[in-house]
Chain A
Amino acid sequence: MRFDSLLDSLGHTPLVGLPRLSPSPSVRLWAKLEDRNPTGSIKDRTAFYMVEQAEKDGLLRPGATILEPTSGNTGISLAMVAKLRGYRLVCVMPENTSAERTQLLKMWGAEIVYSPAAGGSNEAVRVAKRMAGEQPDWVMLYQYGNPANARAHYETTGPELLADLPGVTHFVAGLGTTGTLMGVGRYLRENRPGVAIVAAEPRYGELVYGLRNLDEGFVPELYDESVLTTRFSVPAEAALRRTRELLAAEGIFAGISTGGALHAALGVAAKAVRDGESAEIAFVIADGGWKYLSTGAYEGSLDEAADRLDGQLWA
């Protein structure tokens, strides 16, 4: 396949079957390989759509500065798009995200402001909003509330998925900004009545929650619970276990949040088997495992790996 530029090659990712992890020939799992995007994650779609919309709206002019709270992938995608389109990027990132993310962001020319680990992504959002107030000429694209984030998935990810799997019964993805679930979810609900939209939410340790209890629960502006059919809460240990199973059984080397989505996908698969129903379950491989090697997720026993992840944001 030939494209005029890197950005033109975005999306159109493969959907691959998982014959070994699927419980039966009538209950099948399918993985959408979003790690096959230009910077290696699903966030390339979001970044491209948000920048393009801001250009159309006249918010971004040549040389402008973009500001964004991000725990990594969106920042990396935005850094690539910003570099190609001639913008400066400042990312606000929790200090407890993996080392590779910092290196990648800097590699693509982004500047990084760290927010305290204790508040997680919520604190990064708060710090970014404060900085935006102090720098009125900077443009915050704000992935948690930018309709272009969900629209990217409504216009690209959703249609690609339905074209490849017209009989899809379940769509499963990680719940972060909620953009993937809202965009793909709305598209599928309009075009595939009866489809189930399933969220996989990371469950962090009590340490993180203990500190977060100081906060108000943060709900992304994009989030509309009525789009969801159900929601799973996935502990780090389960996400790690599934990430390793995906590698061992199907040869797919994915990031840890993908293990969370697989955990939820296997949960709905088990229910379909129990209820004697057939199912075509698609889930999202949000990124590859490369950025998480330093977390030790793929080495030693599961317990050791889970201990190493304790207190880190893994999705």
Chain B
Amino acid sequence: MAIEVRIPTILRNYTDGAKAVQSTGSTLGELFANLDSSHPGIGGRLVEDAKLRRFVNVYLNDEDVRFLGGLDTPVADGDTVTVLPAVAGGAPDAARV
């Protein structure tokens, strides 16, 4: 078992075009660090100054991790993590309708 990470089109150049990759970790931050080891460069597109980048939205089993604990959110085998680009305009936490 592992954790599935779904990659948006804009970041698939780091995953040889793969839409989803497997990784491991006990927190989201660890998961992204391990992801960066197997797909060098992708970590910097997700994390900046030990925080989630502003224009990236990350969902754990479809729940917004900004409400859970950001990079400290615990993750476990069988979880699915989805990465999506946020809507431009500087309001990644904004409601979209």
Contact = CB atoms under 8 A, between A and B. Distances in A.
A5 to B, nearest CB: 32
Chain B interface residue bracket vs A: 20 to 34
Given A232-B63, A263-B62, A201 B88 contact: no
A213 B91 CA distance: 12
B8 A219 contact: no
Given A206-B8, A206-B9, A209-B85, A232 B62 contact: yes
Given A121-B97, A177-B97, A223-B95, A213 B64 contact: no
A230 B68 contact: yes
B1 to A, nearest CB: 15
B2 interface: no
B27 interface: no
A3 B88 CA distance: 49
B87 interface: yes
Interface in A225-274: 225, 228-235, 238, 263-264, 267, 270
Say what secondary structure dominates the interface of chain B.
Answer: loop
A251 B8 CA distance: 36
A215 B84 contact: no
A306 interface: no
B96 A201 contact: yes
Given A217-B88, A217-B96, A233 B57 contact: yes
A217 B9 CA distance: 20
Interface of A: 120-122, 144, 175-178, 199, 201, 203, 206, 209, 212-220, 223, 225, 228-235, 238, 263-264, 267, 270
Given A215-B89, A233-B62, 8 more contacts: A178-B95, A216-B88, A217-B89, A217-B94, A219-B91, A223-B94, A232-B59, A233-B57
13 contacts: A175-B95, A209-B84, A209-B85, A212-B96, A217-B87, A220-B97, A230-B68, A232-B62, A232-B64, A233-B57, A233-B84, A264-B62, A267-B62
